[in-house]
Amino acid sequence: MKTFNSVIISLFFFQILGCAQQADENNMSIQQLKEEMKANENLIILDVRTPAELEGPLGQIDGVINIPVQELENRLGELEEYKSNEIAVICRSGNRSGVATKILLQNGFKAKNVLGGMTEYINQK
């Protein structure tokens, strides 16, 4: 019985660690974003906040494409020409961009969620 329990516990932790590692592949830190912005001239930054938020106190990164997350699935065609590009997805805090990143990945895009979002971005300027 101890062996069986050990196997179950090991499988459980393997599953958790595997999911965590996979999730990390789809995320980037603000520092990684800034490095990628310097190194990759083909990087696309997709801001999934509302247009009003781009005009707010957090501002926006120059050259972003703005498609609010609630419109993303219906507007994927606008991003089709960038399907081979890396896409950094950002919002205010990283929550909505996480949802948007999943949508993009499910539709064949190369996307990463920017952890901490614009809140973290302006704090690291």
Higher pLDDT, 82 or 1: 82
Chain segment 41-69, per-residue pLDDT in tens: 999 999 999 999 999 999 999 999 999 99
Which positions are catalytic? 91
pLDDT score for 11: 41
For residue 7, pLDDT beyond 80 = no
- Quick one: CA torsion of 121, 87, 46, 41, rounded to 10 degrees? 80
What's residue 124's pLDDT? Answer: 86
Q: Per residue in 17-29, pLDDT tens?
A: 434 434 589 999 9
Mean pLDDT of the chain: 87
What share of the chain in percent tops pLDDT 70? Answer: 81
Q: How many residues does the chain have?
A: 125
Question: CA-based Rg of the chain, rounded to a whole angstrom?
Answer: 17
Say which residues have a Cβ less than 8 Å from residue 37's Cβ, sequence separation at least 6. 43, 45
Confidence at residue 125, expressed as pLDDT on a 0 to 100 scale: 67
> Residue 6 — pLDDT band, cuts 50, 70, 90?
very low
CATH classification code of 26-123: 3.40.250.10
